[in-house]
Chain A
């Protein structure tokens, strides 16, 4: 059974870069596409982008200019970088297996943007 776990700093300063990693266990990262999704406090979900193990990506146009998703197949991990963050980027960030729909999901990690 595939499980995902997000890791990274819970606090990022405005204008800096948010960096998160998702570790895939119980299966190969070559099996699916992999996405990042976020949820601001009390609000709905927003798809950020996905990556395939080959490195092929697709991003939400609303974030495309600031986002990069990468994959490390040797570590069974994929990562998110979001540049020039503001308070509006404060959210719970989830990683998820992607078949067009999302399953399974990591437990999520809260990232707060504040000085």
Chain B
């Protein structure tokens, strides 16, 4: 199975700063079939991105995704208070579909 490794484990930033989150795959993710999710405490994950760079419905344009092959990035251009959460990547190019362990974006 494809193992997804996210870094850093925790990112400490202030509101208004830019966040850059990494997701690295143990083997190439076919056709950039990678999604990103946001999860807040006690809530279900929320789809942010699919196809590595397509925003889901209702997701603000301060969120962007990029990458291909084994290296993918989620960027948040200017952190808003509601963006502090855990972010997870997921590949769906090869079964079994797998998730990264998550990056926590916390308030500095």
B96 & A107 in contact (Cβ 8 Å cutoff): no
B81 close to A (CB within 8 Å):
no
A100 close to B (CB within 8 Å):
yes
A105 & B92 in contact (Cβ 8 Å cutoff): no
Q: What total of A-B pairs shows CB separation below 8 Å?
A: 49
Give Cα A99–Cα B51 distance, bound, in whole angstroms. 11
Minimum CB–CB distance for A25 against chain B, Å: 16
B11 close to A (CB within 8 Å):
no
A62 & B96 in contact (Cβ 8 Å cutoff): yes
Q: What B residues does A60 contact at CB under 8 A?
A: 96-97
Q: For the complex, would chain A's binding face be called helix, strand, loop or mixed by DSSP majority?
A: loop
Give Cα A108–Cα B43 distance, bound, in whole angstroms. 8
Q: Which of B50, B96, B99 touches A44 (beta carbons < 8 Å)?
A: B99
A61 & B102 in contact (Cβ 8 Å cutoff): no
B35 & A101 in contact (Cβ 8 Å cutoff): yes
Minimum CB–CB distance for A114 against chain B, Å: 21
A32 close to B (CB within 8 Å):
no
Minimum CB–CB distance for A73 against chain B, Å: 24
B47 & A101 in contact (Cβ 8 Å cutoff): yes
Q: What A residues does B37 contact at CB under 8 A?
A: 45, 102
A103 close to B (CB within 8 Å):
yes
Give Cα A43–Cα B102 distance, bound, in whole angstroms. 9
- B43-89: which have CB < 8 Å to A? 43-47, 50, 56, 88
Give Cα A99–Cα B92 distance, bound, in whole angstroms. 9
Besides A47-B97, A105-B45, 8 more A-B contacts (Cβ < 8 Å) are A45-B37, A94-B44, A100-B35, A101-B50, A101-B90, A106-B44, A107-B44, A108-B44
22 contacts between A and B (CB under 8 A): A44-B101, A45-B37, A45-B45, A45-B88, A45-B90, A45-B99, A46-B99, A47-B98, A47-B99, A61-B96, A99-B50, A100-B33, A100-B35, A100-B50, A100-B97, A101-B35, A101-B47, A101-B50, A102-B35, A103-B47, A105-B44, A105-B46
